[in-house]
Structure 1
Amino acid sequence: MSFRNFKMVDYVVYGRGSLNQLDEILAPQRKGDAPMIFFVDQFFAGNNAFLSRLPLRGKDKVVLIDVTHEPKTTYVDALKDALKAEFGTVSGIVGIGGGSVMDMTKAVSLMMTNPGSSADYQGWDLVKLPGVYKAGIPTISGTGAEVSRTTVLTGPVRKLGMNSDYTPFDQIVLDPDLLKTVPVNQRFYTAMDCFIHCVESLTGTYLNAFSKAYGEKAQDLCEEIFLHRSDWDETSDEKLMMASYAGGMSIAYSQVGVAHAVSYGLSYLLGTKHGIGNCIVFDKLGEFYPEGVEKFKKMVALHNIEIPQGITKGLSDADFDKMIDVSYGLPPLWENALGKNWKEQMPKERLRALYEQF
């Protein structure tokens, strides 16, 4: 029997105010006068109080990342080309923001050293060379992108991650103070990505003690924050940041399931953001995850969150076929959810009927 040799993040610093250590963390990674590039979520544009905290040295540059849409391979390639044209090489890339910025940082880091287009590397273990140094600093928690070995990208024909041992960050900085500016609805949608990770991992066929230990703790933390109370206190951001980390670790040695497999189709066709897309789908998955969906609906009601409805109404047969093809292109997710005979349990007709509910 062969066990996967799991690559983790090399270094983790956790604590309120830990962003202030970034200068000393980056110093040993600087290579001559090659700059550090700071990919910063466009949410912070004009926020000089925040941007002034970044330890810019020499030719270092801040690049505001447009997160209007899910990360695209064309965007990754354009950023890579621009950096190579301006600097030739860089010391590293530091991503500061949500899951989309984490994914863009990991992807551009890899493409600074690997030839061709990022679309060439959508799949499992296709990346052949280590990227430039990369650090992740999440300012919203739930996706687990700060710890995962994938960077999820929408390409010309698919939405699929660059899954490889070269993808994880070299360093992450977990500073709960950075979560306080997140809008309430967005915080919920992204946190539910973590909760749904855990439900899918803990009920999947790939479940093992490693995944279970992290998944149970992450789910407990999500429920402490969103199921057992309606307010937000000073410990909530700390719990959510660690739930995201543990949730990401849970799926690292197992897999996600039906909600993610289906929401990828929505995202590819309609551009639905990952967190809210998972919520739209999970809301209708009571037959697959009865206990998890019941808890989810209670959390939605308790926090007065709106889950969009009717987003697939009026789509053409070709549209539904495209979503089904994207979803079907994720066999590990379906196998984790339904077993090796998943295609018999989820024929395209059944998947079409499921998409019509959204």
Structure 2
Amino acid sequence: MNYKNFKSVEKCVFGNGSFNQLREIIDAKKQSADDYFVFVVDDVFENKAFAQRIPVLEDQDKLIWVNVDKEPTTEQVDALTAKIHGFGKLPAGLIGIGGGSTMDIVKAVSMLLTNPGPATQYQGLNLIKNRGIYKVGVPTLAGTGAEVSMTAVLTGPVKKLGIKCDYTIFDQIILDPEVVADAPIDQRFYTGMDSYIHCVESLTGTKNNAFSTAFGEKALTLCQEVFLREDISRLEADEKLMIASYMGGLSLTYSEVGACHALSYGLSFVFGYRHGIANCIAFDVLDEVYGDYVNEFRQMLALHKVTLPKNLAATWTEEEISKMADVAIALEHMWIHAYGPDWRNVLTKEKIMNWYRMM
């Protein structure tokens, strides 16, 4: 048996106000006077007060606003890579500031700057040959686990699949609960549920083990405290959720995601649903797979007064449902985790289509 030999984030700083250490951290990586950094920032912060806190040096560093209203694409990553190549000398590093989509974009661009060709040719496991450039992740939403994951998930022309290898991991992350404080309630909930669902899938699948359980159980407990306790303060909740995201991501690294993520990939690929809400839509129809966890999820929805979209399938064609099922069923590693190596004996495309019809 081959055991996973995975790489973790090399450095991590956690705590309220730790974002203020960013300049100090990246300046230590400079090797010459003309070294510069590229800040890749979610454009939701453009013209907001938080933008003034980003430690960009005039006439030296570059600031690029990225739009992540939709899931990140291979085309978007290729365009950003080309733009940075246009600056001439490669930057000393990339700094990603935003949610999971921004994190994945930065991880992917770091790889593409040192590996030739389009992003599509690297969607898969261990296809990257050269180490990427130094990269720092500053998540402004908590839940995706992208800050610690070795996967940069991208939607391409024919599939949604991650670039995944040891080089994809961030060199440095800054986990500052203060920077997630202004996230809208629905967005915060859907992103937080990504962490909750990560833990459920990790813990209930066939690839679970003592390592993934240790991180998954604690992360699940933190999610339950955040989304089921009525007396928890926002600051305490954000601290716990940020650590749940981190630990949930580590749980997945030695385990795997399952049925919910497979279905959500289909939703995102065909209809462009953002990952967090796509997970929630899918999880809500998976009672037979995740049982009491789905009921608990519905309690969280009610407590936080989040209304999940319903009756979506009423407007979908059978062709669209079939296409989503094709995307989902192709994610064999997720189904193996959910059902075991003989998953094809218990799961059919028609069953997957029926789940979509329930949405």
* Cα 1:230/1:301, change in 2 over 3 Å: farther
- Give the conservation status (yes or no) of the 8 Å contact 1:335–1:341: yes
The residue that corresponds to 1:2 in the other structure is 2
* Cα 1:339/1:319, change in 2 over 3 Å: same
- Give the conservation status (yes or no) of the 8 Å contact 1:152–1:161: yes
The residue that corresponds to 2:337 in the other structure is 336
**1:123-164: CA deviation from partner (whole Å, max 9, x where unpaired):** 111111111110000011000000000000000110000011
In the TM superposition, 1:200-279 aligns within 5 A as: 200-229=201-230, 232-279=233-280
Q: Which moved more, 1:53-62 or 1:293-302?
A: 53-62
The residue that corresponds to 1:149 in the other structure is 150
Q: Secondary structure at the match of 1:13?
A: strand
Residue identity opposite 1:205 in structure 2: T
- Give the conservation status (yes or no) of the 8 Å contact 2:213–2:251: yes
The residue that corresponds to 1:191 in the other structure is 192
Deviation at residue 2 of structure 1 after TM alignment: 1.9
Q: Secondary structure at the match of 1:3?
A: coil
The residue that corresponds to 2:29 in the other structure is 29
Deviation at residue 230 of structure 1 after TM alignment: 6.6
- Give the conservation status (yes or no) of the 8 Å contact 1:29–1:91: yes
- Give the conservation status (yes or no) of the 8 Å contact 2:313–2:356: yes
Q: TM-score, normalised by structure 2?
A: 0.97
Q: Which moved more, 1:24-33 or 1:287-296?
A: 24-33
The residue that corresponds to 1:315 in the other structure is 316
Residue identity opposite 1:34 in structure 2: D
Q: Secondary structure at the match of 2:167?
A: coil
In the TM superposition, 1:1-358 aligns within 5 A as: 1-32=1-32, 33-47=34-48, 49-57=49-57, 58-229=59-230, 232-358=233-359
The runs of 4+ residues in structure 1 deviating greater than 6 Å are none
CA distance in 1, matches of 2:102, 2:62: 16
Q: Secondary structure at the match of 1:161?
A: strand
CA distance in 2, matches of 1:312, 1:152: 25
Deviation at residue 310 of structure 1 after TM alignment: 2.3
Q: Secondary structure at the match of 2:276?
A: helix
- Give the conservation status (yes or no) of the 8 Å contact 1:92–1:133: yes
Q: Secondary structure at the match of 2:69?
A: coil
**1:248-307: CA deviation from partner (whole Å, max 9, x where unpaired):** 011010001110011000000000000000000101111000021011011111111111
- Give the conservation status (yes or no) of the 8 Å contact 2:115–2:130: yes
Q: Secondary structure at the match of 1:137?
A: strand
CA distance in 2, matches of 1:230, 1:121: 46
Q: Secondary structure at the match of 2:250?
A: helix
Q: Secondary structure at the match of 1:166?
A: helix
CA distance in 2, matches of 1:324, 1:88: 44
Deviation at residue 328 of structure 1 after TM alignment: 1.6
- Give the conservation status (yes or no) of the 8 Å contact 2:259–2:335: yes
CA distance in 2, matches of 1:313, 1:167: 39
- Give the conservation status (yes or no) of the 8 Å contact 1:230–1:302: no
Q: Secondary structure at the match of 1:313?
A: helix
CA distance in 1, matches of 2:321, 2:131: 37
| Residue ranges of structure 2 left out of the alignment (5+ in a row) | none
CA distance in 2, matches of 1:319, 1:261: 16
Q: Secondary structure at the match of 1:334?
A: helix
CA distance in 2, matches of 1:125, 1:321: 30
- Give the conservation status (yes or no) of the 8 Å contact 1:30–1:92: no
**1:13-42: CA deviation from partner (whole Å, max 9, x where unpaired):** 011111111111001222431320111111
- Give the conservation status (yes or no) of the 8 Å contact 1:226–1:303: yes
Residue identity opposite 1:260 in structure 2: H
CA distance in 2, matches of 1:218, 1:270: 30
Deviation at residue 320 of structure 1 after TM alignment: 2.0
| Residue ranges of structure 1 left out of the alignment (5+ in a row) | none
Number of residue pairs the alignment of both structures matches:
357
**1:321-340: CA deviation from partner (whole Å, max 9, x where unpaired):** 22112112211111101111
Deviation at residue 231 of structure 1 after TM alignment: 5.7
Structural RMSD (CA): 1.2
Q: Which moved more, 1:344-353 or 1:262-271?
A: 344-353
Q: TM-score, normalised by structure 1?
A: 0.97
CA distance in 1, matches of 2:114, 2:314: 43
- Give the conservation status (yes or no) of the 8 Å contact 2:177–2:235: no
- Give the conservation status (yes or no) of the 8 Å contact 1:39–1:101: yes
Q: Which moved more, 1:335-344 or 1:213-222?
A: 335-344
Identical counterparts, % of pairs: 48
- Give the conservation status (yes or no) of the 8 Å contact 1:30–1:36: no
Q: Secondary structure at the match of 2:315?
A: coil
